[in-house]
Structure 1
């Protein structure tokens, strides 16, 4: 059981978040107008790309991540391998390089697309941005999304873990959770926080919600887009224990993106969710709880 004041305080906060999220979820689903607002089909900003352009964008994005990580590993791999907190430093440096490479690929795609069209004397269809929400609304919607997601994912995680154990499949959490717990350097922990709560939510939301979900949404409809983008998001993390909860989290973030039309809401919600998870891990609460 939790024994330190910090762990007890965090446990109280987490329980308050869970009950608040459950209450908010019941409130949202309990009245038809509110339910219609958040669960009905909403038009997303159109993304006028062809199938070859979409595949090229995917190739460019993941090539950027791979090249960024490979470059840093080539230049600094030997030094990082000899560091005291080697595993944490690898997660920070290689993770930052990977996500920055992805963001570089995202930025490069529209430039190369315009250049390709200009070579043939034409212009590509312009991207139409979504609504510009004030940051107060973005923060409010993002916090509400996380509150709703927490009780849903908590119940789902318990059931999913039981199924994995019954099937004889591994139910250990992601390696990075153990890395956060074992890292001692405050500087490296700050760097890992930057990756987990800044770079990763930004790059992953651009790929899975603004990219994959929006592309499939306008071609196949919402349900296939939710399932495919959610499953891909869960599978990318490469962990049995987190697969289904993360897939459902991806679907919740996609619904928030569609309901608000702003990818910033999904990015901030993703960041807040990761921050909450990291704080729980750093507190030692999972090890202190039965």
Structure 2
């Protein structure tokens, strides 16, 4: 009996992100249990004496234990985030390499890879986007009205700068790019136009970040990352932009750069305008990259149709 091809296609498109979320969830849960193990041992020893405690004392002990457990988990949240990201690499790297092998076997028409000399534009664009978007979030007070963002910021900047750069500047961007651009965007691109493929993968990317401020920031960043991947024809370009944006944000925050800009509205406005101008120039340079596969006619106007990838 033949299997339903639509079902197979559904799991090819939705399976990766469902597995990614599941691995991330269970990895965090497992690490949290390991972190809490010593404390839970103390709680268990206290519970053995509960027979001599009143019901109110037991309830107070349970409440204090819960609060203490949450405090411990929050204290180690940064490390939990980094280790959980590492847990997803076997899945994302396997799918990424499998898809690239599949493209070669099926001889799919792939975008030409941009030369090394075009990569500085991506790096400068990443820095400009980071500074410009951060300034806008501060100027519009978005960074201060979201409790979720404030909690995330407390977690992100709880460690020293070198550790922040390793985890948030390198590990997390690489794992996210492998999944959301290297796997999801590329798979959606096989069936859809660039705009739809970028939109679908970016929405999933944004949802993963969990709060309003990060959702908006990651949505704009995700669309830009998909465009860069499309133009450069390489995962490296999207990864370079993402890493640059994160590292610049970490360094400027640690050095008090954004605090210095926020102290004077004029500084903030000038930084925003300068970032928009520099980012626009870099975007125009990237837009001029010829990504069309060999033999593709200029009349196609930069659009690679879905039929070419089927």
Same fold (TM over 0.5): yes
- Alignment match, 2:152: 176
Contact 2:82 2:171 in 1 (8 A): yes
Compared with structure 1, are the counterparts of its residues 192 and 154 closer, same or farther at alpha carbon in structure 2 (3 Å cutoff)?
Answer: closer
**Which whole-Å CA distance do the structure 2 matches of 1:174 and 1:267 have between them?**
26
Larger radius of gyration: 2
| Distance in structure 2 (CA, Å) of the matches to 1:143 and 1:237 | 23
Instruction: Please state if 1:191 is matched with 2:163.
Output: yes
Within 2, Cα distance between the matches of 1:169 and 1:257? 33
Q: Where does 1:157-236 land on structure 2 (aligned, <5 Å)?
A: 157=137, 161=140, 170=146, 173-183=149-159, 186=160, 189-236=161-208
CA contact (8 A) 2:177 2:239 kept: yes
For structure 2, the 5+ residue unaligned runs are 1-7, 40-67, 105-109, 264-310
Select 1:103's aligned residue among 69, 89, 93.
89
2:63 pairs with 1:63:
no
Moved more, 141-150 or 193-202: 141-150
Residue 235 of structure 1 deviates from its aligned partner by 2.6
How large is the RMSD of aligned CA atoms in angstroms? Answer: 3.8
The separation in 2 between residues aligned to 1:228 and 1:212, in whole angstroms, is 8
Choose the corresponding residue for 1:91, options 38, 61, 78: 78
Give, in whole Å, the separation in 1 of the partners of 2:147 and 2:96: 41
Residue number in structure 2 paired with 1:54: 13
Q: Please say if residues 61 and 102 of structure 1, whose CA atoms lie closer than 8 Å, have aligned partners that are also in contact.
A: yes
* 1:28 corresponds to: none
Q: Is the 8 A contact 2:35 2:73 kept in 1?
A: no
Question: Does the Cα contact within 8 Å between 1:209 and 1:229 map onto a contact in 2?
Answer: yes
How far has the Cα of 1:222 moved from its partner? 1.5
Task: Return closer, same or farther for 1:210/1:86 CA change in 2, 3 Å cut-off.
Answer: same
The answer to whether the 8 Å contact 1:61/1:101 transfers is no
Provide the C-alpha distance between the structure 2 equivalents of 1:149 and 1:131, rounded to a whole number of angstroms: 25
Aligned-pair CA distance for 1:60: 2.9
Question: 1:91–1:79: structure 2 CA closer, same or farther, 3 Å change rule?
Answer: farther
Q: How many positions carry a matched residue from both structures?
A: 221
Instruction: Output the CA distance in 2 between the equivalents of 1:145 and 1:91.
Output: 27
Moved more, 168-177 or 245-254: 168-177
User: What's 2:213 paired with?
Assistant: 241
Q: Measure the CA separation in 2 of the matches of 1:71 and 1:171.
A: 26
Offset, 1:96: 1.9
Q: Could you tell me how far 1:68 is from its partner in structure 2?
A: 2.6
